[in-house]
Amino acid sequence: VRGRLVGVGVGPGDPELLTLKALRVLREARTVFVPTTPGSGTGRAEAVVTDHVPSERVVPLAFAMSDTRARESNWEQAATKVVASLRYGGTTAFATLGDPNLYSTFTHLCETVRRLLPELTVETVPGITAMQALAAHSGTVLAEGSERLTLLPLTGSIERLREALCLRDTVVCYKAGSRLPEVLKEMRAAGRLESAIYGAWLGMDGELICSASDMLETTGPYLSTVIVPASRGTRRAKL
Ligand SMILES: C[S@@+](CC[C@H](N)C(=O)[O-])C[C@H]1O[C@@H](n2cnc3c(N)ncnc32)[C@H](O)[C@@H]1O
């Protein structure tokens, strides 16, 4: 295979939060694949990409999020389309929200493509993550000095959150939208809810940034992020 596959991070949603390198790679790629969820219209990464690249070169790849069997066959179909593009040579790009090396569809897609093309050249272009966008928008310092920064996907046991909150350093929660009340009550029990910041649909229509305590009684969308800043004695987080 002559082509190279590049996973391009396109930032959290704001088309301006795209690096110059990402822009160059997207523009020079013969095809830019973008993940979409069937039945939910234009994908989030797609919306950023079509702001910069002619739509004829942008190809959606469907990934069903809930149906496990459909998901497996989606991976195979997606990989087959990517391989077909790679055979033409040049750059084939896959655009992903945030960063391609952080909980990204790109990692799994890449494994599936590599099973078909073991010699494939793969590169990634880093992107600005949702937690960085939320930190910037809310005036929150993620870490300073010797503080640790824990990034936690809320897909499994709440115990991991409890442990992370005990450290008193910064905790960022991804994938917590559907269980927001449970997550925020855990923060309250640890005495850390008051300083926590919530952000949804960052950089997109409907963006919401508020104190996490305002969200105690409600669930949030999948694109929800919570930052619990380190307990520093002074209140640095400000909205
Ligand atoms: C599959 S992960 C993708 C992470 C992404 N690769 C990154 O670097 O930020 C999805 C999670 O990222 C967070 N996320 C990504 N984009 C977001 C956005 N625009 N607004 C709020 N949260 C976002 C949410 O916590 C969501 O559940």
> How many A from CA of 120 to the centre of ligand 1?
27
Closest Cα to atom 23 of ligand 1? 223
Judge whether 62 and 37 are in contact, CB under 8 Å: yes
Mean pLDDT for all residues in the chain: 93
Question: From the alpha carbon of 201, which atom of ligand 1 is closest?
Answer: 20
pLDDT at position 11: 97
Is the C-beta atom of 132 inside 6 A of ligand 1? no
Ligand 1 pocket, residue 106 CB under 6 Å: no
Instruction: Find out whether the beta carbon of 200 lies less than 6 Å from any atom of ligand 1.
Output: yes
The pLDDT of residue 204 is above 90? yes
pLDDT of 237 strictly over 90: no
pLDDT mean over 192-220: 96
CA distances from 137 to 104, 131, 196, 197, 198 (A): 23, 10, 14, 10, 11
User: What's the CA angle centered on 87, arms 85 and 89, to 5 degrees?
Assistant: 90
As a whole-number percent, the residues of the chain with pLDDT over 70 amount to 96
> 66: which residues sit within 8 A by CB, 6+ positions away?
none
Q: How confident is the model at residue 29 (pLDDT cuts 50, 70, 90)?
A: very high
Phi-psi region of 45 (alpha: psi -120 to 50; beta: other; left: phi over 0): alpha
pLDDT in tens, 92-109: 999 999 999 999 999 999
Predicted pLDDT at 65? 66
Q: How far is the CA of 209 from the centre of ligand 1 (A)?
A: 14
Q: Of the candidates 205, 174, 210, 175, which has an alpha carbon nearest to the alpha carbon of residue 194?
A: 210
What is 150-210 written as a DSSP string? EEEETTS-THHHHHHHHT-SEEEEES-GGGHHHHHHHHHHTT-STT-EEEESTTSTT-EEE
For the stretch 75-96, pLDDT in tens is 889 999 999 999 999 999 999 9
224 within ligand 1 shell (Cβ under 6 A): yes
Q: How confident is the model at residue 125 (pLDDT cuts 50, 70, 90)?
A: very high
Q: What is the average pLDDT across 7-30?
A: 97
Task: Give per-residue pLDDT as tens, 135-177.
Answer: 999 999 999 999 999 999 999 899 999 999 999 999 999 999 9
Element (H, E) at 106: helix 105-116
Instruction: Determine the pLDDT at residue 239.
Output: 47
Distance 223 CA to ligand 1 centre (A): 6
Q: Is 22 in the pocket of ligand 1 (CB under 6 A)?
A: no
Stated pTM of the model: 0.92
Q: Is the pLDDT of residue 61 over 90?
A: yes
Average pLDDT rounded to a whole number, residues 14-23: 96
Atom of ligand 1 nearest to the CA of 13: 19
pLDDT at 59 over 80: yes
Q: Is 41 exposed, middle or buried (0-12, 13-18, 19+ CB in 10 A)?
A: exposed
The model's confidence at residue 238, banded by pLDDT at 50, 70 and 90, is very low
Q: Among 34-43, 112-121, 228-237, whose mean pLDDT is lowest?
A: 228-237
179 lines ligand 1 (CB under 6 A): no
Is residue 35 in contact with ligand 1, taking CB distance under 6 Å? no
**What pLDDT score was predicted for residue 39?**
73
Which residue would you say has higher pLDDT here, 40 or 112?
112
Segment 171-200 shows an average pLDDT of 97
Mutate to test the pocket of ligand 1, among 16, 63, 97 (most ligand atoms within 8 A of CB): 97
Q: How far is the CA of 138 from the centre of ligand 1 (A)?
A: 16
17 — pLDDT class (breaks 50, 70, 90): very high
SS3 118: coil
